[in-house]
């Protein structure tokens, strides 16, 4: 019998994991996501905790293999994704926490590879991995060359490869940095705000392989909610003074504000915000995509859809 097949060795090398899947009214996608969690090639125990966001709990009729448990709970925190994730973390049975969006799916080796790396890097605050974007007209892998991502890296750039569905972290990190921010307006950018706090504790280490498939459907819950995006981005800048330490990073965020202002037809405010962006970083790419919106040549929604076809946002 190989060592990793012995129960005592598996328990030491592959501790139990709770996987939180927050959901709202997407049963088909949810079944796919949960099925991929339960089918992980992981020797340790896996608890999959489905959190229903203020909707009726509909237990999934899925086979639950040995060493796996499936639980269904109602979001007891504020409505939305941050509250759902926080409910899941509070209800979790185990000290390793992972998160998966209900429209994404894990490849079989995801948990095994991440736990192995996290065990080898006790200094790490969390672990991520490569992703593959799949959707209408797009199939693209996104993986980082770096072995870790630090706070300085996240201040400079969002680094979309560190996706919320890739994150696995110890309970010690969760307790130290605090829950997902439920006060963030509209929940916009909640994963980035949380990652800033995680990276302030320690690096996010990266498994180089692509282990998560992200559903890239070309739409967004946030399309058209321009005033909320402006408010949330300003909230983020105010909450994290370290963002002011990077002219490039700060220009990116003010560029997002300028784009949202222009898309919401607040053109004079958008022009003033663009002036700030240019002073911070004349090469900020959001200047080029915001100007056509200010001039009324394109809508914000149209620009976003064009950007997402390339696997990027604005």
When pLDDT is averaged across residues 233-248 and rounded to a whole number, the result is 96
Looking at residue 207, what is its pLDDT? 98
Q: For the ranges 4-13, 168-177, 205-214, 283-292, which has the lowest average pLDDT? A: 4-13
When pLDDT is averaged across residues 287-291 and rounded to a whole number, the result is 95
Q: In Å, how far are 88, 90, 153 from 180, measured between CA atoms?
A: 11, 12, 20
Report whether 187 contacts 80 (CB < 8 A): yes
Q: Name 250's Cβ contacts closer than 8 Å, sequence gap at least 6.
A: 237, 243, 244, 280
Report which DSSP code applies to 160: T
For the cut 50, the answer to whether the pLDDT of residue 9 exceeds it is no
pLDDT tens-digit readout, 90-129: 999 999 999 999 999 999 999 999 999 999 999 999 999 9
Handedness of CA 73, 25, 105, 159 (dihedral sign): negative
Q: What gap in Å lies between CA 233 and CA 253, rounded to an integer? A: 7
Q: What gap in Å lies between CA 281 and CA 107, rounded to an integer? A: 39
Q: Hunting for tokens 């370290």 — which residue is that? A: 242
């Amino acid at each position: 019998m190989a060592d990793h097949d012995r129960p005592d060795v598996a328990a030491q090398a592959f501790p139990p994991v709770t996987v939180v899947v927050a959901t709202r009214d997407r049963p088909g996608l949810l079944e796919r996501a949960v099925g991929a969690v339960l089918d992980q090639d992981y020797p340790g125990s896996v608890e999959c905790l489905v959190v229903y966001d203020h909707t009726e709990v509909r237990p999934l009729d899925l086979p639950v293999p040995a060493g796996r448990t499936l639980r269904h709970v109602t979001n007891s925190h504020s409505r939305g994704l941050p509250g759902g994730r926080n409910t899941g973390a509070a209800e979790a049975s185990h000290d390793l926490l992972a998160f998966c969006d209900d429209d994404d799916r894990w490849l079989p080796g995801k948990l095994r590879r991440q736990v192995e790396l996290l065990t080898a890097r006790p200094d790490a605050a969390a672990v991520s991995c490569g992703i593959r974007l799949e959707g209408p007209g797009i199939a693209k892998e996104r993986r980082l060359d770096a072995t870790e991502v630090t706070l300085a890296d996240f201040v400079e750039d969002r680094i979309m490869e560190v996706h919320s569905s890739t994150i696995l972290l110890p309970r010690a990190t969760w307790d130290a940095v605090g829950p997902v921010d439920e006060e963030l307006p509209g929940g916009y950018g909640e994963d980035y705000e949380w990652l800033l706090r995680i990276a302030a504790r320690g690096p996010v280490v990266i498994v180089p392989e692509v282990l998560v498939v992200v559903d890239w459907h070309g739409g967004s819950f946030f399309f058209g909610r321009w005033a909320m995006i402006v408010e949330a981005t300003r909230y983020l800048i105010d909450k994290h003074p370290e963002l002011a330490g990077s002219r490039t990073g700060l220009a990116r965020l003010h560029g997002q504000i300028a784009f949202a202002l222009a898309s919401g037809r607040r053109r004079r405010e958008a022009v003033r915000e663009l002036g700030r962006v240019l002073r911070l970083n004349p090469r900020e790419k959001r200047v080029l995509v915001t100007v056509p919106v200010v001039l009324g040549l394109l809508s914000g929604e149209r620009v976003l859809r064009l950007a997402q076809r390339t696997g990027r946002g604005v």
